[in-house]
Every structure is written in structure tokens, then in C-alpha cells.
Amino acid sequence: MNVNVQVVENIMSANERLAAENRKTLDGADVFSINIMASPGAGKTSLIERSLETLLPGKNVAVIDGDVATSIDADRAAAAGAQAVQINTGGNCHLDAVMLQEGLAQLDLENIDMLIVENVGNLICPSAFDLGTHKSVLIASVPEGDDKPYKYPAMYRGVDALVINKIDLLPYIPFDMDYFKQGVKILNPDLQIFPLSCQTGEGLPAWLKWLEMG
């Protein structure tokens, strides 16, 4: 076997092992967790803010934010009332199970009902690194264009729910919803889809219902 292939396989199996540990930790503390992935600017932090408005104070929600730099997103989650931890990946373009483990260690898991992980904005490698969360969510947004399922199939294949954000922009942008959904259906036929707008609030109730049902 090629040495580089062996190295990559070892890294991936170490990640799988740690992801399983994280899942056990979360299950042990009875914390439902989701991993939110998307390209930069799709609205991950905005969706988290809008979700917190409804979830808090009925639920204790924590947010772990992964970013290459700054704590802007964790500051926003904290301002919205969540326990928030920022993980700076130091240039890495995705979160992995080690980083999540470090984030979990900073939280009072026994007093948390739900954990929302905001992954680094990137449509490629986050899908390859299981973190140990219970559900994976992808946010697409109207300005990114209707061809994204066709261009980033791995991302669409591996998730449990898909949010289509910024639907308030549909009148202004050439985005063919049927073409988009057709691409999604080929890759992930049973995927739950939530078209919504964090700006206007349209479509948010269905998403929140899914989130609260766990």
C-alpha cells in the first residue's frame, strides 16, 4: 500500500474512534447534538441565533463554534444566551473529533439538553470527519446557486437534514428550486428539507419542530 494512503487511513480511523467516544460522552450526559455544516456566509450563525430565540429558556443549549480565526460566532451565540465555546482551528478547514472533544471538556454537559456545533464554513472536508454528534445538518442558501448538490455530492449525501436559507431572495436571483431539489433527491432521497429565511422568519417553525423532536 502507498505510504500516504496508509497515513490517511490511520488518521481517519483515529477520528472514528474519537467520534465514538464523543457520542458516548454526549449520550451519557443525555445531550442531543447536531453538527451544522455549510459554505461561508450561508447563515449557520444566523440560524443558530434564530433557533436559540425559540429554544431558550425552555432548554439549556450549548454552542461549539469552529472557525479558522476569531470568536465572533461564539460571541453571538453567547449574546443569544447559550453556553458557547469557540474553537479556533489554527488554519484547519474543518472540525475533527479531537477538537470536539476539547470543546466538550469546556462545557457543563450534565446541565445541557442540546449541543449545536457550528462547523468551519466549507463544503468539502467537514463531511469526511465524523464528530460524534447525533445528526448532521447542511445549510444551503439561495445566493450560492442551484447547482451545489451536483458539485458537492459528498456533502449532500451524508446529512440528515437540509436547510435552504435566504428564500426571501428567490425573486431576485435565478435559482431553480426544482433543479436544485432534483439534484438533492438523487443523492439523498429521504433527506428532510427546510426552505426558510432567517431574515423574515418564514419557514422557521418546521425547522424548529424537527430540531426539538431530536
Binding residues vs Zn ion (CB under 5 A) = 93-94, 125
How many positions of this chain bind Mg ion (CB under 5 A)? 3
Which of 44, 94 has the CB closer to Zn ion? 94
The partner in contact with residue 45, picked from Mg ion, Zn ion, none with C-beta cut-offs of 5 to 8 angstroms by kind, is: Mg ion
Q: Is 73 in the site for Mg ion (CB under 5 A)?
A: yes
Torsion region of 183: left, alpha or beta (phi above 0 gives left; psi -120 to 50 gives alpha): alpha
The least distance separating Mg ion from the CB of residue 119, rounded to whole angstroms, comes to 9
- Per-residue b or e along 84-113, where b marks 16 or more CB atoms closer than 10 Å to that residue's CB: bbbbbbeeeebbbbebbbebbeebebeebe
Looking at 44, 50, 94, 148, which residue binds Mg ion (CB under 5 A)? 44
The least distance separating Mg ion from the CB of residue 213, rounded to whole angstroms, comes to 25
Max Cα–Cα distance, the chain, nearest Å:
54
Q: Where are the alpha helices (DSSP H) in the chain?
A: 3-28, 44-55, 72-79, 97-105, 148-151, 153-157, 177-187, 204-213
The least distance separating Zn ion from the CB of residue 89, rounded to whole angstroms, comes to 8
Q: Is 130 in the site for Mg ion (CB under 5 A)?
A: no
Q: Is 76 in the site for Mg ion (CB under 5 A)?
A: no
The partner in contact with residue 119, picked from Zn ion, Mg ion, none with C-beta cut-offs of 5 to 8 angstroms by kind, is: none
C-alpha cell, 57: 429558556
Contacting residues for 30 by C-beta, under 8 A, at least 6 apart: 113
The least distance separating Zn ion from the CB of residue 208, rounded to whole angstroms, comes to 30
The partner in contact with residue 93, picked from Zn ion, Mg ion, none with C-beta cut-offs of 5 to 8 angstroms by kind, is: Zn ion
Contact residues toward Mg ion (CB under 5 A) are 44-45, 73
